[in-house]
A and B are shown apart, each in its own frame.
Chain A
């Protein structure tokens, strides 16, 4: 009897604890703000600019990380679990962390193809789409080069896809998102003209980069991509490849090595010392050079490139 009574007491305690937990969870204030998880700082900034106070944005990748190597942190799974929308840059850029996090998040609303899955690459015309899916060509992205965020004209298309995605998830905020998109697009339009003038010295400049991620930037401002420090995308440099690259750099008189900030400066510096080229760091994700936000980061990139070109030209 005593045992039964003790068991009954235990049951009551358990029920009480469950009730407290449930009430505690229910009591947490329901927020009217749209909970957005953004895969990269670029799409996070765009979502903030477009959504304003109507959205609360959490970013997964840090500005100086390699977007192909962002660690899968379970703390983001909980954020994704409660997210109303997930914004990705797309074209497979986030293959290292988004699929695993989505799997852990258990949120059907943000699965690829669902209403809350916002793909910023939707209207972008990809470059370097591989003609064959063959890993002998390195770690190629089957849908094309995903580093289109470095071109502000593509940035406008990204913003449009994000605004439409936010409106899809939250139709009541349509006016906010449309106005936000118009403001952001206006700002980019002004900057695109300004940057076209700023980037004049870059036209025809031959460069080497670490990774194959500058095609959109090069096409916009007329840089000439001569080679990469990696043998092929994702394949680390071999001594033989570096010797070949040195020959090419000398032959083509390459004066600029672009080092994406997530990569080790050692190899780029060593190539620079042997060729007389100048190393310039570049942010492949917004904030990588310290300038907060998408527009400021593109501005910082351009200013760094132009400054390096001018320094290379001066005796």
Chain B
């Protein structure tokens, strides 16, 4: 680029020097001034050309500079300079909500009616019943670059308010490790650790309620390891006061609050694996064990399997979930006579599980059916079988209406129940990967 204008410029300079050097002689020469005048004109012309060329080159350089600047990061917007604090200001006060976490509130309400009177240990309400199934305040946020925290505070018609979960989870441990501590749903099975409003049905399957003791509520610590292999395989180990919301509640009501020997704590182990069968069809399964190793007071095994078809499109048919879970519980219970006196200890082996399929259609409809088999964890076996059908409609991502029919039968009695559930999510609500 430089070579384009340098020769011209040097020629002009030489010419000017020449003119200056010979100027006095030219004046003296009188008539000989003509050639010099011509030379001066030529030089002026060349100088003019050189100036034009220089201007053009400068313009080209400016264009190129703009292109180069365009490839760099945009300049930071200029900050306004405040020379004087606003009148009356005494301090810089940050907004009070600057560090607020994500907050959501779930309203989960239902109307249910049964055709027969209350059915043994499954406990369906008799007659018509408006219920606040769940009012959940959910809060979550990163705490620092290494930790996040969340809490779920729930209220229901039956049980009042309760802190269902309040836990801390690491986010940046090496080697695929994550640690969770506090009060939370232990990672047992699949649906036992789902929140009520996230379930695909109106209710938690009776087999989970009876064998686990409600959702898998616990207080303790969990460590999980994502294996460094191509397949998704995760191992989880946990140590808890108890597993099962009802068991935990009973423990705390009895004044436990952490006072028991280490050998009496519940231990959990789980293996969870996932496979893509095709781009849209996948299967995942898990095996869990919860027990008290030394005393063998309780051993609970759970196996779950889920097959999903997930095209991820908005077409008329949008896939299905086929899920099944089976649980075996072996537990020692205190036997009492009619007067309430302890007469011994008895081990009960009980089992149960469910299977369901739910198909998804355009415009946010889904249809499903479920079968559940359960035994009472204590006392008489009290077997119950429930067949359910459910239809769900989501007018939007944050509102859901569900209708469910349940037919339950045991040795002697049957019960039909109709439930309409209406659920809405206010705010940023997500229980994350585990309840996807």
Flag whether A183 is at the interface (Cβ < 8 A): no
Interface residue ranges of B377-412 to A (CB < 8 Å): 395-398
- Given A99-B430, A108-B171, A66–B312 Cβ distance below 8 Å? yes
Q: Which residues of B contact A74 (CB under 8 A)?
A: 232, 274, 284, 433
A64 adjacent to B313 (CB under 8 Å): yes
Flag whether B172 is at the interface (Cβ < 8 A): yes
Q: Which residues of B contact A78 (CB under 8 A)?
A: 226, 229-232
> Please, what's the 1-or-0 string for B224-242, where 1 marks a CB less than 8 Å from any CB in chain A?
0010111110000000000
Flag whether B364 is at the interface (Cβ < 8 A): yes
A262 adjacent to B231 (CB under 8 Å): no
> Please, what's the 1-or-0 string for A75-111, where 1 marks a CB less than 8 Å from any CB in chain B?
1011001100000000000000001110111101001
* A123→B436 CA distance, assembly (Å): 32
* A266→B316 CA distance, assembly (Å): 8
* A99→B362 CA distance, assembly (Å): 25
| In the complex, residue of chain B having the shortest beta-carbon distance to the beta carbon of A64 | B313
- Given A71-B312, A72-B433, A73-B282, A25–B228 Cβ distance below 8 Å? yes
Q: Which residue of A61, A62, A64, A160 is within 8 Å of B71 (Cβ)?
A: A160
Flag whether A12 is at the interface (Cβ < 8 A): no
* A111→B173 CA distance, assembly (Å): 13
Q: Which residues of A contact B396 (CB under 8 A)?
A: 135, 138-139, 234-236
> Please, what's the 1-or-0 string for B304-320, where 1 marks a CB less than 8 Å from any CB in chain A?
00001011111110000
A100 adjacent to B430 (CB under 8 Å): yes
| In the complex, residue of chain B having the shortest beta-carbon distance to the beta carbon of A72 | B436
* A70→B313 CA distance, assembly (Å): 8
Interface of chain B: mostly helix, strand, loop or mixed: loop
* A135→B399 CA distance, assembly (Å): 11
Q: Which residues of A contact B41 (CB under 8 A)?
A: none
Q: Which residue of B74, B310, B398 is within 8 Å of A71 (Cβ)?
A: B310
Flag whether B32 is at the interface (Cβ < 8 A): no
- Given A78-B231, A264-B362, A103–B433 Cβ distance below 8 Å? yes
A100 adjacent to B436 (CB under 8 Å): yes
> Please, what's the 1-or-0 string for B161-200, where 1 marks a CB less than 8 Å from any CB in chain A?
0000000000111001110000000000000000000000
Interface residue ranges of A50-70 to B (CB < 8 Å): 61-62, 64-66, 69-70
- Given A75-B274, A78-B232, A106-B177, A263–B145 Cβ distance below 8 Å? no
- Given A123-B74, A160-B71, A236-B364, A69–B436 Cβ distance below 8 Å? no
A100 adjacent to B433 (CB under 8 Å): yes
Flag whether B276 is at the interface (Cβ < 8 A): yes
Flag whether B79 is at the interface (Cβ < 8 A): no
Q: Which residues of B contact A62 (CB under 8 A)?
A: 279, 312
A65 adjacent to B311 (CB under 8 Å): yes
Q: Which residues of A contact B308 (CB under 8 A)?
A: 71
Flag whether B58 is at the interface (Cβ < 8 A): no
Q: Which residues of A contact B316 (CB under 8 A)?
A: 264, 266
| In the complex, residue of chain A having the shortest beta-carbon distance to the beta carbon of B148 | A103
Q: Which residues of A contact B313 (CB under 8 A)?
A: 64-66, 69, 262-263
Question: Closest CB of chain A to B125's CB: distance in Å?
Answer: 33
A139 adjacent to B397 (CB under 8 Å): yes
Question: Closest CB of chain A to B401's CB: distance in Å?
Answer: 14
Q: Which residues of B contact A81 (CB under 8 A)?
A: 176, 226, 228
Question: Closest CB of chain B to A239's CB: distance in Å?
Answer: 12
Question: Closest CB of chain A to B245's CB: distance in Å?
Answer: 24
> Please, what's the 1-or-0 string for A106-144, where 1 marks a CB less than 8 Å from any CB in chain B?
101001000000000001000000000001001100000
> Please, what's the 1-or-0 string for A17-50, where 1 marks a CB less than 8 Å from any CB in chain B?
0000000010000000000000000000000000
- Given A75-B276, A77-B232, A70–B364 Cβ distance below 8 Å? no
Flag whether B123 is at the interface (Cβ < 8 A): no
* A160→B173 CA distance, assembly (Å): 31
Flag whether B336 is at the interface (Cβ < 8 A): no
Flag whether B432 is at the interface (Cβ < 8 A): yes
| In the complex, residue of chain B having the shortest beta-carbon distance to the beta carbon of A70 | B312
Flag whether B363 is at the interface (Cβ < 8 A): yes
Interface residue ranges of A157-215 to B (CB < 8 Å): 160, 164
A108 adjacent to B312 (CB under 8 Å): no
Q: Which residues of B contact A139 (CB under 8 A)?
A: 396-397
Interface residue ranges of B408-436 to A (CB < 8 Å): 430, 432-433, 436
Interface residue ranges of B49-63 to A (CB < 8 Å): none
Q: Which residue of B282, B312, B397, B433 is within 8 Å of A101 (Cβ)?
A: B433
> Please, what's the 1-or-0 string for B355-368, where 1 marks a CB less than 8 Å from any CB in chain A?
00000001110000
Question: Closest CB of chain B to A211's CB: distance in Å?
Answer: 9
Q: Which residue of A70, A75, A108 is within 8 Å of B232 (Cβ)?
A: A75
Q: Which residues of A contact B282 (CB under 8 A)?
A: 73, 75
A82 adjacent to B228 (CB under 8 Å): yes
Question: Closest CB of chain B to A140's CB: distance in Å?
Answer: 12
* A72→B436 CA distance, assembly (Å): 7
Q: Which residues of A contact B311 (CB under 8 A)?
A: 65
Q: Which residues of B contact A82 (CB under 8 A)?
A: 228
* A77→B232 CA distance, assembly (Å): 7
Centre residue among A71, A101, A160 by max chain B CB count within 10 A? A71
Q: Which residues of B contact A25 (CB under 8 A)?
A: 228
Q: Which residues of A contact B315 (CB under 8 A)?
A: 262-264
Q: List 9 additional A-B contacts (Cβ < 8 Å) besides A81-B176, A108-B171, A262-B315.
A: A61-B312, A62-B312, A70-B312, A74-B274, A75-B231, A104-B433, A108-B145, A262-B313, A266-B316
Nearest 5 A-B pairs (CB), nearest first?
A: A108-B172, A65-B312, A71-B310, A74-B232, A74-B274
A-B contact pairs, 27 of them (CB 8 A): A25-B228, A65-B312, A66-B313, A71-B312, A73-B274, A75-B231, A77-B433, A78-B226, A78-B229, A78-B230, A78-B231, A81-B176, A100-B433, A101-B433, A104-B226, A106-B173, A106-B226, A108-B146, A111-B145, A111-B171, A123-B73, A138-B396, A234-B396, A236-B395, A262-B314, A263-B314, A263-B315
Q: B-side interface residues toward A, CB under 8 Å?
A: 71, 73-74, 145-146, 171-173, 176-178, 226, 228-232, 274-276, 279, 282, 284, 308, 310-316, 362-364, 395-398, 430, 432-433, 436
Q: A-side interface residues toward B, CB under 8 Å?
A: 25, 61-62, 64-66, 69-75, 77-78, 81-82, 99-101, 103-106, 108, 111, 123, 135, 138-139, 160, 164, 234-237, 262-264, 266
